[in-house]
Amino acid sequence: MLVGASLLAARLASAAERRVPVIETVRGPVPADQFGLALAHEHIMCDFAGAALTSRQRWEVDAVVRTMRPHLQQVVDRGVRGFVDCTPAGIGRDPRVLRALAEATGLHIVTNTGYYGAGGGKYVPEHARTDTVEQLAARWVAECEQGIEDTGILPGFIKIGVNGASGQPPTLSAMDAKLVEAAAIAAVRTGRSVTCHTGGAEAGLAAARLFIARGGAPARFVVAHADGHGAEAQRQVAELGAWVSFDAAGQRPAAAHAAAIAALLPRHADRVLLSGDAGWYWVGEPGGGQVRGYTAVTDVLLPALRAAGVAPTTIEQLTVRNPAAAFSLAV
């Protein structure tokens, strides 16, 4: 451990000299240029019991680690170094599990603060319904400064989720808007980026615009699950300056998926993230249920992008430079 800690300290010192930004991982800050080949949106564990019922009593850390370690090792063996875990509080976020897996595999795993309003609000803790925007933001800022629960582990980003948008112009529900506004405040105060689960193209655009209107920097906002949003919405999100996250690798016909991504690249390669939204140890299912591994980006999507004519330097940008930029702390 001492060797690891002093190695990390030396890396950080040299990163500070080189003015490289850092990414806050479950094992502490890592220079962004060491995040490496990264998966921008995955899940190690989920508990869908709802915010009122989920608790640490519902899973055993060791059992989850034993089950998930081989799946993470598979992508480590393929060269993956960075792993953004998008499971929020209320759906089974457990930094103890993530830290144990980071230590076992060497992956740079990042966890989050924030709440998930999608799913009709089932995963939002009760206090969020009465909290003001400012109170919500303060809770998330406190986690970024003091750590999650009793773990001392700091979130590296903010994860929120919104349902669909309705009306004309498309508008988020009051609860969802509150989450986006609180995320904007917390992002500015903590230097963290925000990944937003979206219930459709209109909701993604509405959330991005609201985040920016409340003072969030466009490049600090990731519109997740943009795969199905269509070329026009993807282009609009990119032109706002936010991130377009194609995180359905392996879940769509590869050639068509790659073609849709490739269409955005000539003008917006610097706004695109890739991942598989895969996993997870399903709390409550025997043995964690049927886990979908994390290899779809390296084994399915990247070959399809290469076949679609995407250049190696662009692949490197999408999988290495972009995630490092999206999840580094703003200084």
Residues that bind Zn ion (CB under 5 A): 86, 277
Largest separation between any pair of C-alpha atoms in the chain: 58
Residue of 280, 310, 268, 161 lying closest to 225 (CA atoms): 161
CA angle centred on 194, ends 257 and 141, rounded to 5° = 160
Cβ-based nearer residue to Zn ion, 154 or 160? 160
Q: How far apart are CA 214 and CA 182, in angstroms?
A: 9
Cβ at position 197, least distance to Zn ion in Å: 6
Cβ at position 161, least distance to Zn ion in Å: 8
Cβ-based nearer residue to Zn ion, 86 or 237? 86
Cβ at position 277, least distance to Zn ion in Å: 4
CB within 8 Å of 219: residues ≥ 6 apart: 193, 241, 242, 243, 325, 326
CA angle centred on 145, ends 1 and 219, rounded to 5° = 100
Place of tokens 């990390």: 8
* Single-letter amino acid, residue 243: W
